[in-house]
Amino acid sequence: MHMTEPHISMPYSVFGDGQLTYGDNVHISEHAWISLPRAGACLRVGDHTQIGRFFGVSCAERITIGHSCVIGERVFIADVGHAYEDPSRPILVSGLTDPMPVTIGDDVLIGVGSFIGPGVTIGTHVMIGANSVVLHDIPSYSVAAGNPARVIKRFDFSSGQWMRTGEV
Which amino acids are annotated catalytic?
82
Beta 42-45 vs 62-65: how paired, if at all? parallel
Cβ neighbours for 117, distance < 8 A, ≥ 6 positions apart: 78, 81, 102, 133, 134, 135
- DSSP code, position 91: G
The answer to whether 118 and 97 have CB atoms below 8 angstroms apart is yes
CA distance 100 to 18: 15
- DSSP code, position 23: -
Query: How many CB atoms lie under 10 A from the CB of residue 137?
Result: 13
Instruction: Count how many residues are written for the chain.
Output: 168
CA distance 90 to 83: 10
